[in-house]
Amino acid sequence: MKRLILLFAGALVIALFTASCGSDDKDVKPTADFTYSIDGLKVTFTNLSKDVKSYEWEFGDENTSTEKDPVHTYATYGNKTVSLKAINGKESDIKSVTISLIRPLILIDGDFSDWDEVPAEKLAKSVQPQNAEYVSLKEFKACADENFIYLYIKGVKPIAQIAQVFIDIDNNPETGWTESYVWLPCGADLLIAGPFLDRFSWGDIFHFTSEDGGGWNWGTAIAEVTGIVEISEIIQFPGSDPDMVHAEISIARQLIPVTFANTVKIGFRLNDDGWVGTGHLPQQNSGDLAVPMMDLKMN
């Protein structure tokens, strides 16, 4: 009887050992999966893999990572093939995706040479007329891509403090704000206002609707400029005039809760600290009728 018990116990131990070894040798096959979001050259990866113990990332630029959710900043724009290898013991799975890092039309870096590369059909431009009444603003340019509206501002010191960007987002002068002495017709539906000299350190964005009551009443701000408006340093314009300065601005259109038409109208205005206008473009010669805002293609 003792011998039978010992034999049975030994067989049970062997069976348990074999089952244990078998489970260690057979790992569950993982599933590699991820999503990503792009901010310029910075890409944030979100790992959605299942049954994984470790990760191996290849970003397509000879850089790698073993983090679960890496954030990678590329050195150049273009197409990058990203691969994630999800590993679970001896089993693994690979997912590869080609992402496109599209260079924006304008980099807000104080190097204004990229404005010369904007296609003519996407560039809106206005310069101060010879007999302008308001003279602080000399040149205004605008262009847009799917993510941003870009502005170029050239003016004369002492340049005014408050900047205002007016946009007729539906390209319909019959709706929106009616401005009779700056632009005619106007129909601006969107107003972005902030301190120019302080590089939009504060400011608000307003959406004009018929419920606002007309006149100047733009109602309650729909957003703050912080995180939406970026401006370069205001630097001296090359040349002999030390008082001529320029800067460039980007407006993150996807962060503004409005719908833009394929073509909008846009105007730029400068005001002193008392909100008295000192310059705007487009502008007519002194004594002439007001002109409309510029046409800007958004797509």
The DSSP line for 35-69 is EEEEETTEEEEEE--BS-SEEEEE-SSS-EE--SS
Looking up tokens 């893999």, which residue turns up? 49
What's the mean pLDDT when you consider all of the chain? 88
Cβ atoms within 10 Å of 255's Cβ, excluding its own: 13
Mean pLDDT over 281-291 rounds to: 89
Alpha-carbon distance 63 to 42, whole Å? 14
Asked if residue 230 lies in contact with residue 253, where contact means CB atoms within 8 angstroms, the answer is: no
Confidence of residue 288 (pLDDT cuts 50, 70, 90): confident
Which residue type, as a one-letter code, is found at position 267? G
Alpha-carbon distance 121 to 70, whole Å? 39
Exposed, middle or buried by CB within 10 Å (0-12, 13-18, 19+), for 45? buried
Question: What's the confidence (pLDDT) of residue 175?
Answer: 86
Cβ atoms within 10 Å of 4's Cβ, excluding its own: 8
Asked if residue 48 lies in contact with residue 97, where contact means CB atoms within 8 angstroms, the answer is: no
Asked if residue 69 lies in contact with residue 45, where contact means CB atoms within 8 angstroms, the answer is: yes
Name which of 244, 241, 233 is nearest 135 in CA terms: 244
| Residue with the larger pLDDT of the pair 229 and 12 | 229
Superfamily of domain 34-101: Immunoglobulins (2.60.40.10)
Mean pLDDT over 58-83 rounds to: 96
Mean pLDDT over 65-81 rounds to: 96
Parts of the chain belonging to CATH 2.60.40.10: 34-101
Name which of 177, 171, 181 is nearest 288 in CA terms: 181
pTM of the model: 0.75
Question: What's the confidence (pLDDT) of residue 274?
Answer: 84
Residue 179 has pLDDT above 80, yes or no: no
Query: What class does CATH assign to 112-297?
Result: mainly beta
Mean pLDDT over 14-20 rounds to: 45
Mean pLDDT over 252-264 rounds to: 95
Mean pLDDT over 188-199 rounds to: 93
- What stretches of the chain adopt beta strand conformation (E)? 34-39, 42-47, 54-58, 64-65, 71-73, 78-88, 91-101, 124-127, 137-144, 148-156, 162-168, 190-195, 204-207, 223-224, 229-231, 235-236, 244-252, 263-271, 277-281, 294-297
Alpha-carbon distance 93 to 205, whole Å? 47
Confidence of residue 176 (pLDDT cuts 50, 70, 90): confident
Show the DSSP H helices in the chain as ranges.
2-25
Question: What's the confidence (pLDDT) of residue 210?
Answer: 64
Mean pLDDT over 1-29 rounds to: 51
